Structure 1
Amino acid sequence: MSVDRNTPGKPSGQPATADAERRSPERTPVRPAPGAAEALPATLRRNAPLVPTDTAASRSLAAVIAILTFLAALCAGAAEMVSASANQWQGSVAQEVTIQVRPSPGRDVEADLARAESLAKAEPGIAATRVFSKQEAERLLEPWLGSGLDLGDLPVPRLITLTLGTPAPDLKHLRAGLGEALPGVASLDDHVLWLQRLSTMANTFVGAGVGVVALVLVATGLAVAFATRGAMAGNREVVEVLHFVGADDDYIARAFQRRFFGLGLRGGAIGAGLAVLAFWLAGLLARAWSSGPAGEEIEALFGAFHIGWRGYAAVLAIGIIASLVTGVVSRLTVRRFLA
């Protein structure tokens, strides 16, 4: 039996065409081995998303969005807290006015105090009056002059606080009456200058907080734009195949928008949740420290360290806005990339 040279190990009597047909992939399809589908790239598997989200780049982008959302939420919550505290301070200060009685040579300061108090009580709209003693007036100077000083020889002004009622009194009439009865001795301070400065400070802080939130959202949009261009560059072949089979730019842009909106929603939810948790823990710590001197100073400056429902609503709104910015920026970036 002769052996064909072209087909070693086979008898020469068998035709070569039959052997070729048996080995032809068109006649005998080759089935992939078990587990071969898992070896394919993620973008070539069946039902694989156009923009994979379970990648290192996607997780990094979600982490960046979460961090930026957390910072923006902290700024918004702090601005709301300062605004609420400033409103509380303004309400407290606006409910009181002060009469200052200055000691003068040859005059009885106690008689002047009694005269000024009687004029204030006679004014309609004054709910209550309180005369500060000499020791209380000197104690008010301790934050500037220190304690342990003998201020007996100094002409320390005496104060009378007036609590305003409803309807509000005519402070111009009271000021004129004090000027006639006690000229050069008694004066009325309605704290208007202090209220204006306090309002300016609060508005400045709130404006700075809004500006920081806007900058953080812009940074979020820039990060999403760079991530979208990277994803487009990494999926260029897939995009070309989609164009070849008839997919238009809107279809591809919607696919990227859905994926990046999901990433933005995840990052925004994590960042907003961490901000809410941070404010809640800060409130717990403030209440725990409220018994000490430091806690009293913190409470005097920030109140109870509670941002209220408006603050929590602002934090949640920032999380939603971050996800919307992510989706919109990704869509615009894709459309510009495909143009």
Structure 2
Amino acid sequence: MNEVMQRLDLVRDAAFRLIEEWRKGPSQSPIVPQGNVAGTALIIVIAIMTFLACLTFGGVSLVRDSAAAWQSQISKEATIQIRPVEGEDMEALLAQAGKIAQGFAGVTSTRVIDRAATARLLEPWLGSGLNIDELPVPRLVVVSIDEESPPDFANLRAELVRNVPGASFDDHRTWVDRLVSMARTTVLIGMSVLALVIAATVLTVIFATRGAMAGNGHIIEVLHFIGAEAKFVAREFERHFFRTAFKGALCGGGAAVLMFLLISWWSSRNLATPEADQAAALFGNFAIGRDGYIGVAIIILLVSVLTMITTRLTVITQLKEMDNRGSESI
């Protein structure tokens, strides 16, 4: 019995010395060791998660901005298509269609696609050197539209069909609706992936916190049972994990920004190639813009703060479980 009491006295004295050391200032010995293997692994994991989250956010931003640009361009124009009609002068039909369209309020201008431009449009499928007059190829009139006050498309279509043989009118509304639906679906998928990445990061932090507490359980248990408040222990852990998460998130976010800059640089250096032209048509110049960089910074801060909050809640929960086990043993 005396031996047990002596050991308890030694543990108590050691605990008091630990508390006094931790209360002295910034040179205090931390509960969670700095720079251990687990901490380095956590930095790498958080860096990877943040990198994926920033890539997802940047990709969603690119698709959203490109879709908005496509929608704006499509909404500014409509197309009149005139099929060849036997006995009719195509040039006269094109001029008549343009004149009818310009008579409607909301139409700013019309432009006839000439023979050379029509041949260039068909080159990918029919090759070069085409004679448009020898082929039953429809001709086009591009109608520029005032986005703020568009014309009455139904009346314009009816007027063209009634007065111009072989004419049809496409206001591109079907394409706009499909484009908006595609953009919304892409954004929803991207946000879902982003949420999953953040959830995986939170779970990783929970396991890392539990591991750190298990590794330093003897110190935490002594401190807690001799009167150290849960907030004191939780504060030590959340400081450590906030610094760890911020380092990892900063590395991951920086790598994502560097990748976007490299892709944008590659795109600008290869503008003349077919691959770059098609990529630019889909995603622009791969520049995520100011909003994209602000979003990356927000993700870095969000990951760090979520890590800190998750750590605090995990530590407090673990200490409560420790209290419950202690009361049950009594």
Q: TM-score range by the shorter chain?
A: 0.7 to 0.9
SS at match of 1:115: helix
Q: Deviations over 1:156-207 (max 9, x none)?
A: 2111001123643332332221122125x21111100111111112222111
Corresponding letter in the other structure for 1:177: E
Greater CA drift, 140-149 or 244-253: 140-149
What residue is the counterpart of 1:182 in the other structure?
A: 164
Greater CA drift, 97-106 or 211-220: 97-106
Contact 1:131 1:159 in 2 (8 A): yes
Q: Does 1:240 align with 2:221?
A: yes
SS at match of 2:97: helix
What residue is the counterpart of 1:199 in the other structure?
A: 180
Contact 2:115 2:132 in 1 (8 A): no
Q: Does 1:71 align with 2:52?
A: yes
SS at match of 2:87: coil
What residue is the counterpart of 1:311 in the other structure?
A: 292
Greater CA drift, 149-158 or 94-103: 149-158
Give how far 1:148 is off.
6.6
What residue is the counterpart of 2:42 in the other structure?
A: 61
Q: Does 1:227 align with 2:208?
A: yes
Contact 2:118 2:139 in 1 (8 A): yes
Contact 2:238 2:309 in 1 (8 A): yes
Higher helix share: 2
What residue is the counterpart of 1:120 in the other structure?
A: 101
2:82 to 91, 97, 101: 101
Q: How does 1:255-266 map to 2 (within 5 A)?
A: 255-266=236-247
Q: 2: CA distance between counterparts of 1:151 and 1:291?
A: 28
TM-score for the superposition, normalised by structure 2: 0.83
What residue is the counterpart of 1:111 in the other structure?
A: 92
Unpaired segments ≥5 residues, structure 2: 1-26, 322-330
Give how far 1:137 is off.
2.8
TM-score for the superposition, normalised by structure 1: 0.80
- Tell me the number of residue pairs that the alignment of Structure 1 and Structure 2 aligns: 293
What residue is the counterpart of 2:198 in the other structure?
A: 217
Contact 2:119 2:128 in 1 (8 A): no
Q: Deviations over 1:93-143 (max 9, x none)?
A: 111110011112333322221211111222233222111224433442344
What residue is the counterpart of 1:294 in the other structure?
A: 275
Contact 1:53 1:59 in 2 (8 A): no
What residue is the counterpart of 1:20 in the other structure?
A: none
Greater CA drift, 102-111 or 115-124: 102-111
Give how far 1:243 is off.
1.7
Unpaired segments ≥5 residues, structure 1: 1-45
Q: 2: CA distance between counterparts of 1:143 and 1:204?
A: 31
Contact 1:97 1:190 in 2 (8 A): yes
Q: How does 1:74-89 map to 2 (within 5 A)?
A: 74-89=55-70
Corresponding letter in the other structure for 1:122: G
1:278 to 248, 259, 264: 259
1:171 to 153, 173, 180: 153
Q: Deviations over 1:23-76 (max 9, x none)?
A: xxxxxxxxxxxxxxxxxxxxxxx8210112311110110111011101110110
